[in-house]
Chain A
Amino acid sequence: SQQGEEDPQALSIQEGENATMNCSYKTSINNLQWYRQNSGRGLVHLILIRSNEREKHSGRLRVTLDTSKKSSSLLITASRAADTASYFCATEQPHAGGTSYGKLTFGQGTILTVHP
């Protein structure tokens, strides 16, 4: 089963509105990351939040992390049509001795559509 699961699967909003996407995971993490994917393209890293952080901002993005609930949210404020894309959360499990390889486990993604 997926380590990270996003909710909702799809979100449709008007330009200027805020978009909130949620991610839940099952095991302890080193960090949680959000990525964006435009149709037919590769993923682009948006923001990383470490397990000892609770909130992080980057431009119009705000990410929160609640390790007690094993959940994270991504808020995009004042959305634009250009924000239309799929958004994925990915978790990195804690390093284990010398065998860590920085493995990321991705969720299935939220498809965001922003209407002009």
Chain B
Amino acid sequence: IAGITQAPTSQILAAGRRMTLRCTQDMRHNAMYWYRQDLGLGLRLIHYSNTAGTTGKGEVPDGYSVSRANTDDFPLTLASAVPSQTSVYFCASSDRQGGHNEQFFGPGTRLTVL
């Protein structure tokens, strides 16, 4: 069982380019999340999805979009990357059936925008 996988592990990207970060979970969790982690700022929620077919905005959604076509996949797209999007990106999932929300995290994608 892999849990959550993210790809790529790291990426260097020129400003203005489009980039999609991939996230796949095999736990059949209904909820999924994207965070960015920056030094001194902790983790901040970008977008989330309660269930396949629905998405919502988190704390810092500008410049990012997501889709949730099925239960397992939750890609994050940067339409036109900017240097301020340099960060480590974590995908997470949770099974919210029980009402309390433990989250499982992927290994992260380190993105550098030049």
B17 at the interface (CB under 8 A from A): no
B105 contacts A108, C-beta separation under 8 Å: no
Compute how far the CA of A108 lies from the CA of B100 in the bound complex, rounded to whole angstroms: 22
- Decide yes or no whether A102 CB sits under 8 A from chain B: yes
Known: A2-B42, A43-B105, A108-B42. A50 touches B100 (CB 8 A): yes
Tally of contact residues, A, Cβ under 8 A: 25
Q: How many A-B residue pairs have CB under 8 A?
A: 60
Q: Mark B79-101, 1 if CB is under 8 A from A, else 0.
A: 00000000000101010100011
Contact of B105 among A30, A40, A44, A105 (CB under 8 A): A44
Bound CA–CA A90/B33 (angstroms): 14
Interface SS of chain A: strand
Give the B interface residue count (CB, 8 A): 28
Q: Which residue of A lies closest to B100 (CB)?
A: A31
Kindly list chain B residues whose C-beta atoms are within 8 Å of the C-beta of A90: 43
Determine the residue in chain B with the shortest Cβ distance to A98: B50
Interfacial residues of chain A within 1-27, with CB under 8 A of chain B in the complex? 2
- In chain B between 44 and 76, which residues have their CB closer than 8 angstroms to a CB of chain A? 44-45, 48, 50, 56, 58-59
Tell me the complex Cα distance, A55–B42, Å: 25
> Which A residues lie within 8 Å of B41 (CB)?
108
Q: List 17 A-B contacts (CB under 8 A).
A: A40-B108, A42-B90, A43-B43, A43-B105, A45-B102, A45-B103, A48-B102, A88-B42, A88-B43, A92-B101, A101-B31, A102-B50, A102-B101, A103-B45, A106-B35, A107-B42, A109-B42
Which A residues lie at the B interface, using CB under 8 A? 2, 30-31, 33, 35, 40-45, 48, 50, 88, 90, 92, 101-109
